[in-house]
Amino acid sequence: MNSFGKRFILTTFGESHGKAIGCVIDGVPAGLKIDEEFIQKELDRRKPGQNKFATARKEADKVEILSGVFEGVSTGTPIAMVIFNKDQKSKDYSNIKDIFRPGHADFTYWHKYGIRDYRGGGRSSARETAARVAAGAVAKLMLKELNIEIVSGVYKIGAIESKNFDFEYAKNSKIYALDKEMEEAQKEEILKAKESHDSIGGAVLVKVLNSPIGLGEPIYYKLDAVLAEAM
């Protein structure tokens, strides 16, 4: 499945080294002001190639709204957005054409579908998350109407945990660190793994402000289960 949600339904499309990636959103009510500048700002926070802690691929990630918006306001019909790929460099992956990368989804995709897009992993690439960010920005605009705000930051890199949680500081940190005092140690962990041609795990802290009571169901549609499914 390439769709998620019941009321706010998100479908993403495209591959890492295809012509474009994008999304279609069903469930946005008519009359919502769609701030395209805000959507772009959210994508700018995510886009690659910004510093040595991110992927080297350079993409402008300029979003184009194709439908569902007229004169800056939602029409109640599906909102489609597209982000064209500009820096694919597929030849960079020719050396792994016949080799599966350890820990990547390449093998499971090939085993399930019988086809493998070795150029960056196709749909299993983190590039797909750009479409989720664009859709998430629209969701944030909807939640803003209900005075609900979502903030987040990097809580942990490897074994280096944050002791303080400054969400405002995280907005301007190159690694979105929540703790200024632990940021340099967390950066060192990332660079150490990078120099070893390895990767390292981490954890993100997300906080929802002014969330209503009673979200989720007691049995089959529990809130934590829905959040886990989205991940």
pLDDT for 9-18, tens place per residue? 999 999 888 8
| 92 and 17, same domain (yes or no) | yes
Same domain, residue pair 121 and 204:
no
Question: For the chain, what is the mean pLDDT?
Answer: 90
Residue 91: pLDDT band (50, 70, 90) is low
Instruction: End-to-end CA distance of the chain: give it in Å, rounded.
Output: 14
**By three-state DSSP, how is residue 228 classified?**
helix
Residue 36 has pLDDT above 70, yes or no: yes
Q: Is residue 143 located within the same domain as residue 153?
A: no
User: What's the confidence (pLDDT) of residue 114?
Assistant: 86
Place of tokens 């569902």: 68
Specify the pLDDT at position 93: 60
pLDDT of residue 213: 93
What's the domain range around 164? 149-209
Q: 125 and 158: one domain?
A: no
Is residue 22 assigned to a domain? yes
43: how many CB neighbours lie within 10 A of its CB? 22
One domain, residues 128 and 18? yes
Span 159-176, pLDDT tens digits: 999 999 999 999 999 999
Q: Are residues 118 and 142 in the same domain?
A: yes
Are residue 95 and residue 171 in the same domain, yes or no? Answer: no
Single out the residue in 147, 169, 198 at which a domain terminates: 147
CA Rg value for the chain: 19
- Going by C-alpha positions, the residue among 180, 188, 185 that lies closest to residue 164 is 180
For residues 17 and 83, membership in a common domain is answered with yes
Asked whether residue 57 falls in the same domain as residue 156, the answer is no
User: Where are the alpha helices (H) located in 14-105, listed in sequence order?
Assistant: 36-46
Q: Do 28 and 143 touch, CB atoms closer than 8 A?
A: no
Strands 149-157 and 79-84: unpaired
Given a contact cutoff of 8 angstroms between Cβ atoms, the answer to whether 199 and 193 are in contact is: yes
Q: How far is CA 202 from CA 161, 177, 189, in A?
A: 9, 11, 10
Q: Are residues 26 and 64 in the same domain?
A: yes
3-state secondary structure of 4: strand
Stretch among 4-8, 60-64, 107-111, 209-213 having the lowest mean pLDDT: 107-111
Most confident of 63-72, 79-88, 198-207: 63-72
* Helix/strand number for the chain, H first, E second: 6, 10
Percent of the chain with pLDDT over 70: 96
> Using one digit for the tens of pLDDT, what is the confidence trace for 170-215?
999 999 999 999 999 999 999 999 999 888 999 999 999 999 999 9
Dist CA 170 CA 151 (whole Å): 9
pLDDT tens for each residue of 143-158: 999 999 999 999 999 9
Residue 229 inside a domain? The answer is no
Pair (179, 100) in one structural domain:
no
Candidate from 90-94, 115-119, 134-138, 216-220 with smallest mean pLDDT:
90-94
Kindly state whether residue 220 falls inside one of the protein's structural domains.
no
